Each structure stands twice: as structure tokens, then as C-alpha cells.
Amino acid sequence: MLDTLVFATVLLPFLVAAVLLVLREQNVRKVILVATAGVLALASLAMLRGGAFILSPAPLYDTLVTLGDFVILFVVLAVGFKRKNQIIIWLTAAQILGLVWLDFFMVHDHGATPAFFADDLSLIMVLIISIVGSLIAVYGIGYMKEHEEHLHLPKSRQPRFFFFIVLFLGAMNGLVLANNLLWMYFFWECTTLCSFMLIGHDDTEIARKNAERALWMNVLGGTAFLFGLIILQKTAGTLSLQDILAKGPEMAVAGGAILIPMFLLVFAGMTKAAQAPFQSWLTGAMVAPTPVSALLHSSTMVKAGVYIIVRLAPIYAGTYLSNFIALFGAFVFLATAALAAGQSNGKKILAYSTISNLALIIACAGINTPAAITAAILLILFHAISKALLFLCVGAIEQKIGSRDIEDMRGLWAVMPRTALITVIGVVTMMLPPFGMLMAKWMAIESANGQFLVMVMLALGSGLTVLFWCRWAGILLATPFGKIKPETQASTVRFPLVVLAGLAVVVSFLSPFVYNGLVAPVVAMYYKTTAYTVSLGNFESSTGVFIIYPLFLLLGLGLYFAIKQSRKVTAAQIADPYMCGEQQTVGGKPGFLGPLGMHVAAASGNYYLEQFFGEAMLSKWINAIALAVLVIMLFGGAL
């Protein structure tokens, strides 16, 4: 049974991807994608029910993984030569040489290390990838049809697109289940190649440029990952993640040599998670079709980066390295929240807020207490659901109104009432109590007690996130009075939106059960204690209480009375905005009589304070400070 579940979540997507690559019939592709999504979701739930496990496939698979490593590296090398990118060429060549040395001269017992190992953290990740990722793939069916019609393509590129989408899901499941770090490296490089191909999918000049940037930055991380494994094999004598987690903490305290490979693996995670100064590859990835953006930001790629950092946290707990990881994460959290506050482009707001929330997860890994790790795991879960939902909403809105600027979303309720409501749900679950994201942020800030600078940056960053989420929600709720048009939408687009909106609310409602059943056991396993107790559905710790169900009740009552009152509003009660000068309405647009008798239409908009929060203003300073902290982390924390 276990073999079947691992096959269904890891190997099956590789096989289905190969079929989709050669399949041209759109209806058959749709059936296969929906069926695969269902299999992945059911298999992940069955795997969760089965609990922790260790699995060693046949020795043949070790050979195939080694072969796959070299195939991917030579493909990337070929891309480097084709694009004439010296960074890609030299870094990939270094990886090839390093992999030859590691595989054939250092590791002599490939079959002795179990390939797969799963605890509740791995199983949570498989759930996110297989359910959220599958919903994004299903959404892509309807989205890509309209996307290609808009581009007027003479020949559909959907076979290649869905090949890499489904391959991505299998690679991510393999990555989070891998116990043998050589296997993890193979899946890690798979995600790098998939992201490059998907970001450059539309084959425009800007898409090719941003795909190349994403590739060299992630190849840099891959090089750090591989050389981290080489040093780890030398210092620990094993590449078994389970063994390293068992004896790594003692090695870190005793000599500290293991902190060098730990830094390299954490650095690899930071590049994969698009942390400063590498955030430009993820913001540049916004040129890709929306399903790609949603997949990269929610359930794959960037989550691989924070997964490895959180996974290794017990090893470097209590070290100088851990303290600097906390400082780095808190700084990037605050800085990229400020960048998000200066944006009106919906996708850029989501991109910078993603980087910001990933940095918060990294800060929690650096704080490295039971409370902080609890917050990190819950942030991974809740962020994946709500952020996938918001990206898919922006994609649907953009195809309808022709813009992703939030200022153009005023009055969206009259045009897309269902999507507008779902988008508001996504925004609300990112910022308000009693939803999981705010609860996890409360845990993160509370866990920073005793690290004043980190705590202040986390609190300020959280305040800025409320600013840009409230602004967006306010625009969506600024609805003109009048008749609402019924919304038409492809079922493959509507279904993922509705399901993700439901999950965002329901999983938050069930957060006490999620904590007790999945998060607390992981924290207790590695930290010998837990930080929170659940009493009557509320989270309690030594420093505070987070109330869940009474707040849900208040939220429900508030929503009920707000809707009830809004239905009483009549057309006679609607008033135009008052302005200096003679009021007049021309063409249904209110305004006033201006100079030379010209009509000046009323306009509304938000302040984005680009002089304080603009990319041009902040990015260079953010990158310089982040790079300085990384250098100190290497030479101060690892030596």
C-alpha cells in the first residue's frame, strides 16, 4: 500500500507528464488532468492517514536518479551555452564536477540510505502540493484556453505547458519526501528546470529574460546545495536526512563544522524562496501565465526553499547561525512588506507579499523555539491556500477586465460578483482574526520575545501587510449601486476558486485540530516539548491566548448584519461625492464644472507613497543589507 501511495504522488506525475507532452486532443487532456488531480489528492490524504514511514525503493531507482541528475545538469549547461550566460555555464560545470566526485568517489553505499522518509511535516507538504497544486493545474485548463486565444497562437503550446506543470508536482512531492539528500538534490534541480521552462513559456523577449534570471539564481542555489552535501558527507559521514537530524544538533554544539554545510543548504533555500537579494527572479516570474505564478508562489518552488530551512532548524538551534537566520528573515519580511505597500499591480503585491511571508517563515526557523516552529509550519499551510486563491483570482480578473491593477478593480462586484467575493475572502484570510495567517503571525511575534530587534521588525512588517491588504479589500468593496450582472466562468476556473476559498475558511476553522494532529507531534519530536495547548478550541501559551471560535461567531454575526443592512439601501439614499464648484453629472459620471466650462469628472484613488515604498527607492538598499547579513552569516555563523 505504501509503495502505491509513493508511486501515486511522486512517480505517477512523471508518467502522466510524459503522456501530456505528446497528447494533442484537448478534451482527453482535460480528463487526464482532472483524474490525475483527483488521484494526487486522494493519495495524499491516504498517506496522511497512514502516518510516518521509511521506504527504500529498488536499487535501480538510485541509478535512475543519478542518471537524471546528470541529464538535468547537461540540459541546463546547454541552455547556458545557448543564452551565452557565463554564470549558468560555470556554476553548472562546477555542479557536474562536484556530482561526479560525490557520487563516484565519496558515497559508496547508495542503497544503504533509505530514499524516502516522512513525518508529519513532510505529509503536510504533500497535502499542500497534491491538493493546492492540483487545483492550480485544473484551473490552468480553462485559463490556458483563453490565454492562447488572446495570443492568437497558430499552434497550441499546452502539451508542453502541462508537461512541466504536472512534472513540477511530482518533483515537489519527491523533494519533501526524500530522506536521501542525493535524491532531494535531484528533485531540487527538477524544480529549477521546470520553473525556467514555465516562466519562459510565452517565449516573448521579457519572458525569456526573466526565465534566464530565474535559472542562474536557482543554479547558484543548486551549486550551494551540492557543495553543502559534499561537506556534509565529509563531516557527518552520511547523506541520510533522518540520521543527520538525529546526530546533527550534537555535532553543531560540539565542534560547529556541520554549520558550514548547514549554511550552504540554508543559502540554497533562500535563493529558491527568492529572498533578498534574489527576489527579482520571483517578481520577474509574473510575466508567466497565472497558473505558473500561483504554482511557484503557493505549493512548489518557493515552498521547497522554506521547507529545507525549517526541516534543518533542529540541527542549528541555539547557534550563532540560527540567530542570524532570524535577523535576516525579520529584515526581509519588513523590507518586502514595504515594497508590497508601494504597488498597485495586483501580481506584484502578491509577489512581494509572498517573499515577505516566506521571510517570516525563515525568521521563525531562526528563532528556533517550539512556538516559532509551530508558527512556521502553520504559515506554510495557510499561506499556500490563500495565496494560491488570490493569484488565481487575479488571473481570472485580468482576463475579464484586461488589467491586473487593483485601481481598475473598483466596481468589480457589478461585473464579476462571485470572483470579487472570493477575492475578498482571500484577502480577509490573509490579514484578519480568527483566520490562520494572523494566528500564525501572532505566534511568530510572540516567539520573538527576548529578541527585541527581531520582534520589532516582525511587528512593523505585520502592520504594513494590513495596510496593503485593507487597501485592496476596500477597492473591491467600493461597489457602485445598481443591478449586478450574472457572472459566467469556465467550470475548470470556477471550481478551483470555490474550493480554495472554502479551504481557506474551513482549515482556519479547524486549526486547533490541525495543530493537535499534525503540527504538535512534529514540534514535540524535534524539540521535546510543545508551546501551545488547545482548550475549548483556543490556543493558550505562557504569554497569551488566541481565541478561535468566539471570533468566528462574531465574524459570522457581523457579516449577517452587514448584509442585512446593505439590502435596505435604496437608490434615493445614494449621493454623489461633494466637490467644490458647480456639481454636474455627464455621461453618468459625477463631477463639477471646471475652468473654461469644462466638465471635470470625479476620480478616486489610493496613495502608494512611491517616494517611501517604491522599488527604485528601496530595492538597492534592501539588497545591500541582505547581502551583508548573508556574508556575516557565512563567515561569522559557520566558522
Domain parsing of the chain, residue ranges: 317-535+609-639
CA 458 to CA 463: how far, in whole Å?
A: 9
The predicted structure's pLDDT at residue 204: 93
The predicted structure's pLDDT at residue 255: 62
Ramachandran quadrant class, 528 (left: phi over 0; alpha: psi -120 to 50; beta: rest): left
Structure-model confidence comparison of residues 572 and 3, the more confident one: 3
Stretch 81-93: mean pLDDT: 97
Instruction: Render 115-150 in DSSP notation, one character per residue.
Output: SEEE-HHHHHHHHIIIIIHHHHHHHHHHHHHHHHHH
Is pLDDT above 90 for 415?
no
The predicted structure's pLDDT at residue 638: 44
Q: What does the block give as the cell for 485?
A: 450582472
> What are the tens digits of pLDDT across the range 288-302?
999 999 999 887 889
* 304 neighbors 138 (Cβ within 8 angstroms): no
Using CA atoms, how far residue 477 sits from 200, 356, 413, 424, in Å, is: 35, 25, 7, 8
> What are the tens digits of pLDDT across the range 558-571?
989 988 887 787 77
User: With the CA atoms of 9, 12, 13 and 19 taken in that order, what torsion angle do they form, in degrees rounded to the nearest 10?
Assistant: -170
Of the chain, the end-to-end C-alpha distance in Å amounts to 46
> What are the tens digits of pLDDT across the range 446-483?
999 889 999 999 999 999 999 999 999 999 987 665 67
* 267 neighbors 224 (Cβ within 8 angstroms): yes
The predicted structure's pLDDT at residue 581: 73
In this structure, which amino acid lies at residue 572? A
Interstrand relation of 538-540 and 533-535 (parallel, antiparallel or unpaired): antiparallel
CA 403 to CA 395: how far, in whole Å?
A: 9
* 273 neighbors 306 (Cβ within 8 angstroms): yes
> What are the tens digits of pLDDT across the range 151-204?
888 888 999 999 999 999 999 999 999 999 999 999 999 999 999 999 999 999
Q: pTM of the prediction?
A: 0.96
The predicted structure's pLDDT at residue 482: 62
- Name the residue among 242, 225, 220 with its Cα closest to residue 182: 225
Stretch 262-267: mean pLDDT: 96
CB contact set of 193 (below 8 Å; sequence gap of 6+):
72, 75, 76
The predicted structure's pLDDT at residue 480: 64
The rounded mean pLDDT for the chain is 92
The predicted structure's pLDDT at residue 251: 78
CA 409 to CA 388: how far, in whole Å?
A: 19
